[in-house]
Amino acid sequence: MAKVQIELPQKLIPVFTGKADVRASHGGRGSAKTRSFAKMTAIRAYMWDVEGREGIILGGRQYMNSLDDSSLEEIKAAIRSEDWLEAQFDIGDKYIKTRSGRISYRFSGLDRSIESIKSKSRILLCWVDEAEPVTEEAWQILIPTLREEDSELWATWNPKRKLAAVESRFRHSSDPLVKCVEMNWRDNPWFPAKLERERQRDLIERPDFYPHIWEGEYQTVMAGAYYARQLAAARSQGRIGHVAADPLMTLRAVWDIGGTGAKADACSIWICQFIGREIRWLDYYEAKGQPLASHVRWLRDNGYTSALCILPHDGASNDKVYDVSYDSALRDAGFETLVVPNQGKGAALQRVEAARRLFPSMWFDTATQGGLEAIGAYHARTDEARGIDLGPEHDWASHAADAFGLGCVVYELPQTTKPKRQREPLSGGRYAFMGG
Residue-range domain boundaries for the chain: 10-187, 240-423
* DSSP H or E segment with residue 383: strand 380-383
In this prediction, residue 148 carries a pLDDT of 81
Q: What amino acid occupies position 251?
A: L
Q: What is the pLDDT of residue 418?
A: 61
Q: Between 327 and 66, whose confidence is greater?
A: 327
Half-sphere exposure of 141 (CA within 13 A, CB side): 18
pLDDT at 23: 98
* 425 — pLDDT class (breaks 50, 70, 90): very low
Of 161, 162, 111, 173, nearest to 153 (Cα)? 173
How far apart are alpha carbons 8 and 20 in whole angstroms? Answer: 18
Torsions phi, psi for 232 (to 5 deg):
-60, -40
pLDDT of residue 120: 62
Given a cut of 90, whether residue 265 has pLDDT beyond it is: no
User: What is the structure's pLDDT at 162?
Assistant: 82
Note the pLDDT tens digit of each residue in 118-155. 666 689 999 999 999 898 888 998 998 888 888 999 99
Q: State pLDDT tens for residues 331-360.
A: 999 999 999 988 777 888 899 999 999 999
In this model, does residue 103 exceed pLDDT 90? Answer: yes
User: For the residues 313-332, what does the mean pLDDT come to?
Assistant: 74
H-assigned helices in 178-325: 193-205, 210-215, 228-236, 292-301
* Percentage of the residues of the chain whose pLDDT score is greater than 70: 85
**Architecture in CATH of 10-187:** 3-Layer(aba) Sandwich (3.40)
The Cα angle at residue 421 between residues 272 and 429, in degrees rounded to 5: 150
**Residue 155: per-residue pLDDT:** 97
Beta-bridged to residue 155, according to DSSP, are: 24, 128
| pLDDT in the model for residue 426 | 36
Instruction: Please give the residue that has the higher pLDDT: either 307 or 413.
Output: 307
pLDDT of 389 strictly over 80: no
Rounded to an integer, what is the distance from CA 11 to the centroid of its chain? Answer: 21
Instruction: State how far the Cα of 401 lies from the Cα of 405, in Å rounded to an integer.
Output: 6
pLDDT of residue 434: 29
Amino acid in the structure at residue 37: F
Q: Does the pLDDT of residue 429 top 60, yes or no?
A: no
pLDDT tier at 436 (50, 70, 90 boundaries)?
very low
User: Which residue did the predictor score with more confidence, 386 or 256?
Assistant: 256
pLDDT of residue 29: 95
pLDDT tens digits, 79-95: 999 899 999 999 999 99
pLDDT at 101 over 90: yes
**Residues 398-427: b if buried by 16+ CB within 10 A, e if exposed:** bbbbbbbbbbbbbbeeeeeeebbbbeeeee
pLDDT in tens, 201-245: 999 888 768 888 999 988 766 666 889 889 888 988 999 999 999
Helical axes 398-412 vs 369-377, angle rounded to 10°: 100
pTM above 0.85, yes or no: no
C-alpha distances in angstroms, 59 versus 56, 210, 301?
9, 29, 50
Starting at the edge strand that comes first in sequence, how are the strands of the sheet with 55-61 ordered? 89-91, 96-98, 103-109, 55-61, 123-128, 152-157, 22-26, 178-182
Measured in whole angstroms, the distance separating CA 23 from the mean position of its chain's CA atoms is: 21
Between 287 and 283, residue with greater pLDDT: 283
Does residue 167 contact residue 218 with C-beta atoms inside 8 Å?
no
- Residue 79, H or E segment: helix 72-80
Other C-beta atoms closer than 10 Å to the C-beta of 210 total 25
Give the span between the Cα atoms of 155 and 126, in whole angstroms: 8
| Mean per-residue pLDDT, 17-38 | 96
- Indicate the average pLDDT of the chain: 86
pLDDT band of residue 261 (cuts 50, 70, 90) is: low
- Ramachandran category for residue 153: left, alpha or beta (phi over 0 → left; psi -120 to 50 → alpha): beta
* Pairing label, strands 336-339, 308-311: parallel
CB 407 within 8 Å of CB 254 = yes
CATH number for domain 240-423, candidates 3.20.20.105, 3.30.420.280, 3.40.50.2300, 3.40.190.10: 3.30.420.280
Average pLDDT of span 256-263:
68
For 37-92, strand residue ranges (E) read 55-61, 89-91
